[in-house]
Amino acid sequence: MKKIEKGFTLIELILYMGLFCILVSVLSGIFTAVIDTQLNSKATASVDQDGRYILAKLIYDMQSASSSAIPSASSLGSPSATLQLNTSAGTYTYASNSGNLQLTNTNGTNNLNSVDTQISGLTFTRIGNGTATDTIRVNFTLTSTTNKRSGLETRAYQTTLGIQ
């Protein structure tokens, strides 16, 4: 009577290890693709969301303003790093500080962009005559702080606002 030994042969172990390596490689590729997609989505969404919010806030405040003090009417066509609006609720001052767009009013100072973005190239240029209607051109660039494989997400914004 022959004794049957229990265990694995060397061939079986090599086949198992080969199949296991293929499975791990495929799953690693899928995991990497999922992480890249998530980083791309986060970077794009944060820049889009902050850009839309900042533009909406500027439009709302500009429409409720009675006048703009900075940039002054004497600096027609010259860019300024600060926008100051006079409203019935008080003075609203927009300025860039350490990569953040800050709004200062009677309630204090608040950042208008999230921690996921930084603002740069912020300029306010008076293009209206400053009499009946003040018209201000706003330029800024938002950059995501989320670093994706292809680099940082950056988007430039430009709009023209008028007091009504």
- Per-residue model confidence (pLDDT) at position 78: 84
More confident residue, 131 or 45: 45
Domain annotation covers residue 1: no
Residue 4 inside a domain? The answer is no
Q: Which of 61-75, 96-110, 137-151 has the lowest mean pLDDT?
A: 61-75
State the average pLDDT over residues 25-38.
94
Q: How much is the pLDDT for 69?
A: 79
Q: What is the average pLDDT value for the chain, to the nearest integer?
A: 89
DSSP the chain: -PPPPPS--HHHHHHHHHHHHHHHHHHHHHHHHHHHHHHHHHHHHHHHHHHHHHHHHHHHHHHTEEEEEES-GGGTT-EESEEEEEETTEEEEEEEETTEEEEEETTEEEESS-TTEEEEEEEEEE-S-SSS--EEEEEEEEEEEEEETTEEEEEEEEEEEE--
pLDDT band at 132; cut points 50, 70, 90: low
- In-domain check, residue 109: yes
31 domain residue, yes or no: yes
State mean pLDDT over 64-86.
82
For residue 141, the enclosing domain spans 11-162
Residue 112 — pLDDT band, cuts 50, 70, 90? Answer: very high
Reply yes or no on whether the pLDDT at 7 is more than 90: no
The number of domains in the chain is 1
What percentage of residues in the chain have a pLDDT greater than 90?
Answer: 60
Would residue 127 count as lying in a domain? yes
The pLDDT, as a whole number, for residue 52 is: 96
